[in-house]
Chains A and B, each alone.
Chain A
């Protein structure tokens, strides 16, 4: 979706403000919120793309004004209710009013140890790669209303295939319950001027990680 989360190249957000000696969490609730979100992912309540989509679908004014873990908390509430893991009435009451949904595996300490390692998103190759290193490609001018990982700033722009990364779970499908639908993933390199025009920094090049359905052959 063309939401405010897709920030690459936007103006007006000001300076980057690094914090010296930043703590891992700024409040206890942030740490609980992170762990709860990871826990629900670990029990298979939703996949990473449904989770990201849940953040992106927050209203723009909420997205831009809530803190990072504040958004995670809102997403958690929303998905827990939407997917039937708890009722809004139970969250409001702060206690369970009914038995839980049947799940495959509880998030306990052994499950936690497994969760610390990232999952694998690589999948068996089902077809030969359509593009090879050095091919000129154009990122398609697409505007799906649902989750996508093709940033707006790259759409319609021509770049070069720099690397093949194998077949991966396709977020656009996984986010809408349409299965993993694995697709070839490429690193596509763009010149700064192709993305930002003639006044762009001439020393700048930017790459994106682009799935096959995002790309088409660039006509010279």
Chain B
């Protein structure tokens, strides 16, 4: 809503006036036909702009780091475990948590469209939906990670999960050294969106504490 000023800087400028008009026309017609209440659109947009985002996933990961029993439950059945936290009304089915280790790095992609765990990460960033990421994640993941400034040891196994069905994935990154003894509340800000997709690592606790 409040982002119109950003328009010209993101390559959507040429589409702007055309798309504003087309979408406005669609909304008017569909509302006048009695299918939708524009107030419900407002409420949905507000939810994605303010309530549903990667801070939810960060809480999940922080709890997994701090609570071994929760981590086991999360890796066994992420839908059930996340639902049990009560952070969101209802977790969509088929959420799967995958864990990084010293020898294994997981990355999530949807090569066919833009499947992404909305309930725990919010709406996906533009790069996740872009052709460069979708094309290269499955055959050049190290090159993709380099685009994010990330370099993993040469012998680290890379596991790419292509989200080709309604199963959704979230990466549980390794707990960073230096965060020993930290509470869930203190750990959560270390967990970035990208580290839960697999294109980043958690923040360095030394930069936070």
Q: Does A24 contact B (CB under 8 A)?
A: yes
A39 & B35 in contact (Cβ 8 Å cutoff): yes
B7 & A165 in contact (Cβ 8 Å cutoff): no
B26 & A203 in contact (Cβ 8 Å cutoff): no
Interface residues of A in 106-124 (CB under 8 A from B): 106-109, 111-113, 115-122
Alpha-carbon separation in the docked complex, A25 to B6 (Å): 10
Count: A-B pairs, CB below 8 Å: 304
A112 & B23 in contact (Cβ 8 Å cutoff): no
Pick the contact of A70 from B15, B90, B134 — CB < 8 Å?
Answer: B15
A5 & B112 in contact (Cβ 8 Å cutoff): yes
B33 & A100 in contact (Cβ 8 Å cutoff): yes
Nearest CB in chain A: distance from B134 CB, A: 4
- Digitize B23-62: 1 where CB-to-A-CB distance is under 8 Å, 0 elsewhere: 1111111101111110111011101110011000000000
A31 & B127 in contact (Cβ 8 Å cutoff): no
Q: Does A7 contact B (CB under 8 A)?
A: yes
Given contacts A32-B24, A103-B35, contact A117 B162 (CB under 8 A): no
Pick the contact of B26 from A76, A115, A185 — CB < 8 Å?
Answer: A76
A8 & B34 in contact (Cβ 8 Å cutoff): no
Alpha-carbon separation in the docked complex, A107 to B30 (Å): 10
Nearest CB in chain B: distance from A84 CB, A: 11
Interface residues of B in 119-177 (CB under 8 A from A): 119, 122-123, 125-127, 129-142, 144, 147-148, 154-168
A17 & B127 in contact (Cβ 8 Å cutoff): yes
Alpha-carbon separation in the docked complex, A36 to B127 (Å): 23
Q: Does B1 contact A (CB under 8 A)?
A: yes
Alpha-carbon separation in the docked complex, A31 to B41 (Å): 9
Pick the contact of A117 from B39, B53, B92, B132 — CB < 8 Å?
Answer: B92
A28 & B36 in contact (Cβ 8 Å cutoff): no
Alpha-carbon separation in the docked complex, A211 to B165 (Å): 8
A15 — which chain B residues lie within 8 A by C-beta?
A: 132, 147
Q: Does A64 contact B (CB under 8 A)?
A: yes
A118 & B119 in contact (Cβ 8 Å cutoff): yes
B165 — which chain A residues lie within 8 A by C-beta?
A: 121, 149, 165, 168, 171, 185, 209-211
Given contacts A27-B4, A39-B35, A70-B19, contact A95 B29 (CB under 8 A): yes
A to B CB contacts below 8 Å, 21 in the list: A8-B137, A8-B139, A11-B135, A16-B133, A19-B127, A23-B3, A24-B122, A32-B45, A33-B23, A34-B48, A34-B123, A36-B26, A70-B15, A86-B30, A91-B22, A91-B29, A95-B32, A116-B47, A119-B92, A204-B160, A209-B167
Give the B-binding residues of A (Cβ under 8 A): 5-11, 13-19, 22-29, 31-36, 38-40, 43, 45, 48, 52, 55, 64, 66-70, 73, 76-77, 80, 85-86, 90-96, 99-101, 103, 106-109, 111-113, 115-122, 149-151, 153, 165, 168-169, 171, 185, 187, 192, 195-196, 200-201, 203-211
Give the A-binding residues of B (Cβ under 8 A): 1, 3-4, 6-7, 10-12, 15-16, 19-30, 32-37, 39-41, 43-45, 47-49, 52-53, 88-94, 109, 111-114, 118-119, 122-123, 125-127, 129-142, 144, 147-148, 154-168, 194, 199
User: Given A39-B36, A96-B32, 12 more contacts at CB 8 Å?
Assistant: A10-B131, A25-B3, A26-B6, A34-B45, A39-B35, A68-B114, A77-B22, A109-B43, A150-B164, A168-B166, A203-B157, A209-B167
